[in-house]
Chains A and B, each alone.
Chain A
Amino acid sequence: MNWLTNFVRPKIKALVGAKPDVPDNMWHKCPGCGQMLFHRDLEANLNVCTHCDHHLRLPVLKRLASLFDDAAYTRIELPKVPVDPLKFRDRKRYTDRLKEARNKTGEEDAIVVGHGKMSGVDTVIAAFNFEFMGGSMGTAVGEGIVVAAHLAVQQKAPLIVIPASGGARMQESILSLMQMPRTTVALQELSEAGLPYIVLLTDPTTGGVSASFAMLGDIHVAEPGCMIGFAGRRVIEQTVREVLPDGFQTAEYLHEHGMVDMVVSRLDLKQALGNLIHMIMVKKISGNVELITRESIEDHLDQSDEEGDLKVASGPVEQPIPDDPKPKPIKKDDD
């Protein structure tokens, strides 16, 4: 690791419990191409490498801001769950691990729920905070998903869940396993209310998280290169004793194997997700709307590079619904 990334800042942060959005240092080394990236450039590009498009992790609050219209959303306060119900202790007490994670992140647990508008449509997002104990799922995370799903049902809003999680939180043992059926029940209520559930898979999505709500979406969108799977690489290697294929368990691999609808660059996610939600929730638009005609698509294809038709096929990036939430006289159908 570069000496710069090991700068003294983390220690100070641990002491004072500073906010996580203070940059640790000015330069980051891209794990993809090795280039040094200035933190402001990186931030402006949503932590996507400006040289090679490698997607570095995006802090959870920035993630939410990057998706909602005008970066505006209301954060939902989550009910507190019982702390350390099993009195778990490995090499450290679970209560101490929690304290550390809370000091480090300034957050209560590994999930944040917000609601706001996307493409003008009320939307609920539950996003994981990987910085908090690897985004592991215990009862607090389960609670976050349940609250988010209930809120979406109440508001007749779509739900987006953004996992970034190593899986179950072992320190909550069986209670963490039980969050798999628990979150599933909450999502069934959403589904039975006819509301869309979109999963945005980010790095990593594995274990008990991938084997429950993360794979139950109506639509699965994934960030390029992110790791998605059930079992960890090491466990698989030990079991099958063979070399794993190239790109094994990446977003592209899952796309290839039919588990993911589309792989979308972070820079296009706001529009891609916004379009999906808009299409599902606003079933008819009237007024002066630019129609997508066959000619306009073909024009577009002529102009675009050789991958152009793929982009149109996977849809949302190229379609003419602009960033601005209320650009056109779009009328929402009642309800």
Chain B
Amino acid sequence: MRNFLDFEQPIADLEGKIEELRHLVDDGEVNIADEVGKLQTKANKLLTSTYAKLSPWQKVQVARHQDRPHCIDYVNALIEDFTPLAGDRNFGEDHAIIGGMGRFRGQSCVVLGHEKGNDTESRVKRNFGMARPEGYRKAIRLMELAERFDLPVITFVDTPGAYPGVGAEERGQAEAIARSIEKCLQIKVPLISTIIGEGGSGGAIAIAAADTVMMLEHSVYSVISPEGCASILWRSADEAKTAAETLRLTAQDLKELKVIDTIVTEPVGGAHRDPAGAIQSVAQEIENHLKDHMALDGGTLRSKRREKFLAMGRP
């Protein structure tokens, strides 16, 4: 059973009809196969046209779609011999950030990413992808490990934001994020980040100050959630849609603003319609960029990375 978003209702209706027809016995009066074919063409067209002009708010919904491939799906599909590594060696293990070593197309690497979970139990375990200081400190530890063993780092970003809780504040959420950003800009090994769903503010940039920052076509990335922005600037969370249109949070906006480097095209109808296809598109781009970065010496690579971020907003 497919999960449809509100704005996909016309597509859902068509696909529903197709499904019904398929279950009818062909009584010879109407050619059911023909009819199904026609409807299918119509549904595909509608899907293509809908997804070609998604509004920013619709993209927010797609980016949060429950069937959208998550970090764990990328790791399972792309990383051979993935070996999870846990803990910040200080306080605990944060399941909101997955970390470990493995091989990406033959190349040993360190992998990091936010994981939101895909059912109630795993969502609770993963804290909906909202990391605490331990998560960022684990990320720092693994980036250091990557540098020591000269391994590239691949990160997948998908978080509503860093967790706003008492314990998180007590243990220095702000410092943990600040140090994680700093570590991204310090290591002399390639760092490639892909925003695969939601890039939520400081919690996202903490593992995304990278040589190449990529976004999936319908993912979003912003300084604050549309809901949060609406409640502060419009004084009403109901204005989230307006805030989404104003924030310039789509991949297309961010490419234009030179905040990201590459947009990865999604399968028609979004990554959730064809997770395997989306994952392979991302993998291809990672491979291309990784090859370029690995050809540079570490110092040059780091200087270029720093120069890129230093230029953001330069007069």
A174-B257, A213-B178, A236-B165 given; A181·B209 CB < 8 A: yes
A211-B177, A257-B171 given; A216·B182 CB < 8 A: yes
Q: Does B185 contact A (CB under 8 A)?
A: yes
Quick one: CB contact mask for A221-257 with B, threshold 8 Å, 1 for yes?
A: 0000000111110011001101011001100000001
Closest Cβ neighbor of B230 among chain A residues: A90
A257 to B167, CA, bound (A): 11
Cβ < 8 Å to B, chain A residues 245-281: 245, 248-249, 257-259
Contact B314–A143 (Cβ < 8 Å) = yes
Q: Does B179 contact A (CB under 8 A)?
A: yes
Q: Does A86 contact B (CB under 8 A)?
A: yes
Contact A177–B257 (Cβ < 8 Å) = no
Q: Does B278 contact A (CB under 8 A)?
A: no
Cβ < 8 Å to B, chain A residues 191-229: 206-208, 210-216, 228-229
Q: Does B104 contact A (CB under 8 A)?
A: no
Contact B174–A229 (Cβ < 8 Å) = yes
Contact B164–A235 (Cβ < 8 Å) = yes
| Chain B residues closer than 8 Å to A143, beta-carbon distance | 313-315
Which of B165, B206, B315 lies in contact with A80, CB distance below 8 A? B315
Distance in angstroms from A111 CB to nearest chain B CB is: 13
Contact A175–B177 (Cβ < 8 Å) = no
A186 to B309, CA, bound (A): 10
Q: Does B175 contact A (CB under 8 A)?
A: yes
Contact A230–B177 (Cβ < 8 Å) = yes
Distance in angstroms from B211 CB to nearest chain A CB is: 12
Quick one: CB contact mask for A163-184 with B, threshold 8 Å, 1 for yes?
A: 0000010111111111111101
Contact B315–A174 (Cβ < 8 Å) = no
Distance in angstroms from A189 CB to nearest chain B CB is: 8
Contact A215–B172 (Cβ < 8 Å) = yes
| B interface: dominant SS | helix
| Chain B residues closer than 8 Å to A86, beta-carbon distance | 248, 257
Closest Cβ neighbor of B243 among chain A residues: A90
A333 to B16, CA, bound (A): 82
Contact A79–B315 (Cβ < 8 Å) = yes
Which of B172, B178, B221 lies in contact with A174, CB distance below 8 A? B221
A282 to B232, CA, bound (A): 47
Closest Cβ neighbor of B167 among chain A residues: A240
Contact B179–A215 (Cβ < 8 Å) = yes
Contact B173–A257 (Cβ < 8 Å) = no
| Chain B residues closer than 8 Å to A80, beta-carbon distance | 315
Chain B contact patch, size range: 35 or more
Q: Does A185 contact B (CB under 8 A)?
A: yes
Closest Cβ neighbor of B305 among chain A residues: A185
Contact A181–B309 (Cβ < 8 Å) = yes
Cβ < 8 Å to B, chain A residues 77-91: 79-82, 85-86, 88-91
Contact B315–A82 (Cβ < 8 Å) = yes
Which of A91, A173, A215 lies in contact with B222, CB distance below 8 A? A173
Q: Does A112 contact B (CB under 8 A)?
A: no
| Chain B residues closer than 8 Å to A185, beta-carbon distance | 185, 306, 309-310
Quick one: CB contact mask for B211-254 with A, threshold 8 Å, 1 for yes?
A: 00000000001111000110011110000000100111100011
| Chain A residues closer than 8 Å to B253, beta-carbon distance | 174
A174-B223, A178-B312 given; A211·B178 CB < 8 A: yes
Contact A175–B202 (Cβ < 8 Å) = no
Distance in angstroms from B246 CB to nearest chain A CB is: 6
Q: Does B181 contact A (CB under 8 A)?
A: yes
Contact A216–B178 (Cβ < 8 Å) = yes
| Chain A residues closer than 8 Å to B309, beta-carbon distance | 178, 181-182, 184-185
Residue of B169, B170, B173 with most partner-chain A CB within 10 A: B169
A179 to B310, CA, bound (A): 8
Contact A208–B315 (Cβ < 8 Å) = no
A171 to B232, CA, bound (A): 11
Contact A230–B168 (Cβ < 8 Å) = yes
Q: Does A121 contact B (CB under 8 A)?
A: no
Quick one: CB contact mask for B185-211 with A, threshold 8 Å, 1 for yes?
A: 110000000000000011001100100
Contact B312–A179 (Cβ < 8 Å) = yes
Contact B229–A170 (Cβ < 8 Å) = yes
Closest Cβ neighbor of B178 among chain A residues: A215
Contact B310–A216 (Cβ < 8 Å) = no
A188-B182, A216-B179 given; A230·B173 CB < 8 A: yes
| Chain A residues closer than 8 Å to B314, beta-carbon distance | 81, 143
Q: Does A317 contact B (CB under 8 A)?
A: no
Distance in angstroms from A66 CB to nearest chain B CB is: 26
Distance in angstroms from B234 CB to nearest chain A CB is: 6
Distance in angstroms from A168 CB to nearest chain B CB is: 5
Distance in angstroms from B139 CB to nearest chain A CB is: 14
Distance in angstroms from B267 CB to nearest chain A CB is: 26
| Chain B residues closer than 8 Å to A232, beta-carbon distance | 164
Which residues of A are at the interface with B, using a C-beta cutoff of 8 A? 79-82, 85-86, 88-91, 138-139, 142-143, 146, 168, 170-182, 184-186, 188, 206-208, 210-216, 228-232, 235-236, 239-240, 242, 244-245, 248-249, 257-259
- Please list the 3 inter-chain residue pairs (A to B) with the smallest Cβ-Cβ separation, ordered nearest first: A139-B313, A231-B164, A210-B174
Taking A182-B313, A206-B174, A249-B169 as known contacts, 14 extra A-B pairs with beta carbons closer than 8 A to each other, sorted by chain A number, are A90-B234, A143-B314, A168-B201, A171-B233, A173-B223, A173-B247, A177-B223, A178-B312, A178-B313, A212-B177, A216-B179, A231-B165, A231-B173, A257-B171
**Would you mind naming 25 contact pairs between A and B with Cβ atoms under 8 Å apart?**
A80-B315, A81-B313, A85-B257, A86-B248, A91-B233, A138-B313, A142-B312, A168-B223, A174-B222, A174-B223, A174-B259, A175-B313, A181-B181, A181-B209, A184-B182, A184-B209, A208-B202, A210-B178, A211-B181, A214-B174, A216-B182, A231-B165, A239-B163, A240-B166, A248-B166
Which residues of B are at the interface with A, using a C-beta cutoff of 8 A? 162-166, 168-175, 177-179, 181-182, 184-186, 201-202, 205-206, 209, 221-224, 228-229, 232-235, 243, 246-249, 253-254, 257, 259, 306, 309-310, 312-315
